Amino acid sequence: MTTDDRDTIAPETTETAAAATTNRKQPFPAGFLDSISTGWAQRPASLPAQRPEAAYTAARRARVSAAFPGARLVIPAGSYKQRSNDTDYPFRAHSAFSHLTGWGADAVPDSLLVFEPTGDGHDVTLYLRERADRTTTEFYADATIGEFWIGPRPALDAVAADLGIPTAHIDAFESTAEDRSVDVDDELTRFVSEMRLVKDPYEIAQMRLAVEATGRGFDDIIAELPRIVDTRRGERAIEGVFHLRARTDGNGEGYDTIAASGPHACYLHWTRNDGAVVPGDLVLIDAGVEVDSLYTADITRTLPVSGTFSAVQRRIYDAVVEAADAAFAAARPGVKFRTIHEAAMAVIAARTAEWGLLPVSAEEALDADRGGQHRRYMVHGTSHHLGIDVHDCAQARREMYYDGELEAGMVFTIEPGLYFQIDDLTVPEEFRGIGVRIEDDILMTADGPVNLSADIPRTADEVEAWIARGRA
């Protein structure tokens, strides 16, 4: 995935929709009202054990506290987002909120993490809407938060025990004149984004789980290729097969799956996924499972639909593998992050020049001021940080991100590609409509880079054998 996202921390405001209509709501009869609050078993009184990531999230909160002495910080989980009329998109908490609390797929909407300044730091409280007593109308009448509609909600003491954070009811939260969250919003957003540049052991373990689940998703697609080819909108069938794995093994996809067959593979963020998957074409699949902690993988493989690459397809594919391998070889602790991209682009420039596609030499194309001709065929960057967001750390300063140095604990992608649009007259006709991207998820260690997705076949020979095994 190659387009930056935005990770801004700010209290969320939602325009109040028009008053809900009552044209399809039925009144509750007296018998229902008399009986609905009785006859329920007592809720279990035992508290959950503290989740293992609590020690890491406590350390993250301590870093935030030390960075903002005297400031009252309010970090919202966010609210439901309307999809249509009275239907909402699935809720996903703000990444910074989840990163600082450890509350992932099970986070409660409209919660707030509040840092109240004290003499030597902050008192941190998690405000949330506690479960409603079954004697209240909320229990059965509120379709947004009522437990009869959405299932059990956690109690305050259960969340406190689970996350290791003091809790209070959201109604107890007061926005005060001393609230400086707006004053420090940009700085806070930058700080928590940069804090995620280096992952702790818990985060790295979650990334490994996400990559493993994603690998199973690609195996599922390979196994289903014959059915996918027979489906009118085969790209959407690929999306569906991967979605089943993402929801079975995780929270869902970390981003919209790209299933781009034939010429669609030349559109970098093709998510319409409404085309056929045709034998003889290549299909580019960019997908990642987001696990319950909200950490996501981001992996791309390009597959020959018929099972084998044509000579032209293999030539282009091998060039992309070469670029990826060069980028991997250039990645070392202490090296500038941008070096990864530069190494990949040197290969892209060399190959496109060798094929006679450039009006200049490869060396001239790589000139920082007057070059760039090869970028016509790979317009995106080669790498981005990866973690709780698919484009993690997006608000970090340039000197910490693109111009920053690689450190042990960083997780990032390597994803070069070559894309020859179907109507691009600058390339031979046999190249047109071919798009190839190979993307792996890389962990930097003190000893060098580790390809977390290395078990997912990536060379041309490996991919052909993979497809053959899937059809056996």
pTM of the model: 0.93
User: What residues contact 21, with CB distance under 8 A and at least 6 apart?
Assistant: none
Q: Residue 208: what pLDDT? A: 98
Q: At how many degrees (to 10) do helices 234-249 and 201-223 cross?
A: 140
Give the residue, 423 or 6, on which the prediction is more confident. Answer: 423
Q: Residue 49: what pLDDT? A: 96
Q: Give residue-wise pLDDT tens across range 124-152.
A: 999 999 888 888 888 888 888 888 888 88
Architecture of domain 50-195: 3-Layer(aba) Sandwich (3.40)
13: pLDDT confidence band, cut at 50, 70 and 90?
very low
Residue extents of the structural domains in the chain: 50-195, 201-471
Residue 405 DSSP one-character state:
B
Q: Residue 14: what pLDDT? A: 42
User: What residues contact 71, with CB distance under 8 A and at least 6 apart?
Assistant: 115, 117, 180, 181, 183, 184
The Cβ-side half-sphere exposure at 99, using a 13 Å CA radius, reads 28
Provide mean pLDDT across the span 282-294. 98
Q: Give residue-wise pLDDT tens across range 163-203.
A: 999 999 999 998 765 555 545 588 999 999 999 999 999 99
Residue with tokens 């391998």: 325
Provide mean pLDDT across the span 369-374. 97
12: pLDDT confidence band, cut at 50, 70 and 90?
very low
Q: Residue 1: what pLDDT? A: 54
Q: Rounded to an integer, what distance in angstroms lies between the CA atom of residue 458 and that of residue 455?
A: 9
The answer to whether residues 111 and 128 touch, using CB atoms and an 8 Å cutoff, is: yes
Radius of gyration of the chain (CA): 25
Provide mean pLDDT across the span 370-388. 97
Domain 201-471, CATH homologous superfamily name and number: Creatinase/methionine aminopeptidase superfamily (3.90.230.10)
Q: Give residue-wise pLDDT tens across range 24-62.
A: 778 889 999 999 999 999 888 899 999 999 999 999 999
C-alpha distances (whole Å) from 4 to each of 62, 262, 314, 380 are 28, 25, 30, 11
Res. 75: pLDDT tops 50: yes
Res. 225: pLDDT tops 80: yes
At residue 326, the 3 state secondary structure works out as: helix
